[in-house]
Each structure stands twice: as structure tokens, then as C-alpha cells.
Structure 1
């Protein structure tokens, strides 16, 4: 059994053109958003938007072969970012 229990599988259309960064170390990072519907039968519901960070060779593949509207499936880890909104003072989160 794997020690990593934080595994998520997502399928949906890419929300915007992927943004790719190449670092001096040779690392590659591609960022994009993915629209995920909770229930396929409820088409009128707004999708959940998930921000993706993709690293390494898969990041290069995503940069070269995906675009806004591309339907992709991806497996990874879920990371929750939390911060305090300086304008409102409210705690915010994003995943």
C-alpha cells in the first residue's frame, strides 16, 4: 500500500492557455485552471475551478499539447492554500 494517501483524479476542460516557466535549474512549471463539474446531470451548475501546477516532463507536455478548452484528465496531490484577504480581513482558501 502506498504511503501517499493524498491522491486526486480530475477530468475537465482547461480554462485558459497554460502558462509555462523554465528555471535555470532545468525545472519546468506549467500553470493552468481546470473546470470540474460535480454532477454531470446538472449542466446548469457552475463548475468548480481548480488551479493546477504541473512540474517536469508532464509540464512540458501540457504546455505543448493543451490549450483553452482542451479536455484533460490528470492525477496528482491536492494542496490547499490559505491566506488572509488584506482588503476584507477574511480568511480565504484556494485549491
Structure 2
């Protein structure tokens, strides 16, 4: 059997990090996934809220860098959770056990993310400057080539006295 889920959405709450008796990290949160579609020309959207769980080092990283509203891609498997509530009723829900994750956006409230973004942008500035210098030099070269007039040598028949050189 095959059980694989890939979701892209925003976290609905901060990650709740705890540790198992074995010392392994477990992070629990939720993700909101929105689907946009048209019905008879009317734009609609449907949002699905799904509980997710991170494990091990992934849970620690997610807890450190992600918070409510963070955009994330998660890949994992569906798990059916079953329990009996306080009234004795059988309850169940599906959740996603995250195996891989990719952080897709930066959280504007995070100092670490904004510092990373500033450093990352500065590293590309020299490339942009070199690229713009190269474009300017190419434009100047093209303008210089346009200033040179072409001389049609065949227009001068046999009389060498009228040649401009």
C-alpha cells in the first residue's frame, strides 16, 4: 500500500514542542490549506484544517524557525488517531505525520529570518552591479557602432581620385 501526502499551507498555531521519554522531540501544530476554484463563473475558496506532527530534529528546526502563519510544504503520511472522549464516545481524526518539510516563506516578525534575508540580499548585490555594468558597456558599444558610417566602395566606378581615403 502507498500512503503519501504533500500539503502546502500556513501554520494555524505555533508549534508545541515536547520530548518523549526516549529524548526524541515531538512537535505538534496545524496547517490550513486553501483551494481556490470557480463555480458558474463565481470565485470560491475552501479551506481545510489539518493537524500535523513533526518528529526528531525536524520538530526542533520547525519549532525554532516556524510560527503561526508561516508558509510551509510538508510531506508525510496520513495517520488515523482514535480515542474515547470524556462522555465515553468513540472519536477519531486523521492527522499527517511529517517526514519532510520545506519552509517556503519568511516570517516578517522573526528577527532571524529578516537578518538572513538582509545577508542573502547583500550577497547578490555585487552580481547585480556587475551585471548592470556589463549592460551599460554593451549599450555604449552599440551606440559607438551606430556612429560609424558605412562607405560603399562599389559606388565609386573607376575614378580613384574621388575616393575618401
| TM-score, normalisation: structure 1 | 0.78
Q: Where does residue 19 of structure 1 map in the other structure? A: 16
- RMSD, aligned α-carbons: 2.0
Give unmatched runs, 5+ long, in structure 1.
none
CA drift at 1:87: 3.8
Q: 2-side partners of 1:82 and 1:48: how far apart?
A: 20
| TM-score, normalisation: structure 2 | 0.48
Please give the per-residue CA displacement for 1:39-60, whole angstroms capped at 9, x wherever unaligned.
Answer: 22323x3x21111111011111
Local SS of the residue matching 2:13? coil
Give 4+ residue runs of structure 1 displaced > 6 Å after superposition. Answer: none
Question: Alignment partner for residue 3 of structure 2, among 6, 10, 13?
Answer: 6
**When the two structures are aligned, how many residues end up with a matched partner?**
88
Does residue 39 of structure 2 align to residue 40 of structure 1?
no
Local SS of the residue matching 2:36? coil
Q: Where does residue 69 of structure 1 map in the other structure? A: 69
CA drift at 1:36: 1.5
Local SS of the residue matching 1:40? strand
Q: Which has the higher helix share?
A: 2
Q: 2-side partners of 1:20 and 1:55: how far apart?
A: 10
Of structures 1 and 2, the one scoring higher in RCO (CA 8 A, sep 6+) is: 1
Q: Where does residue 82 of structure 2 map in the other structure? A: 82
Q: 1:83 to 1:24 in 2, by over 3 A?
A: closer
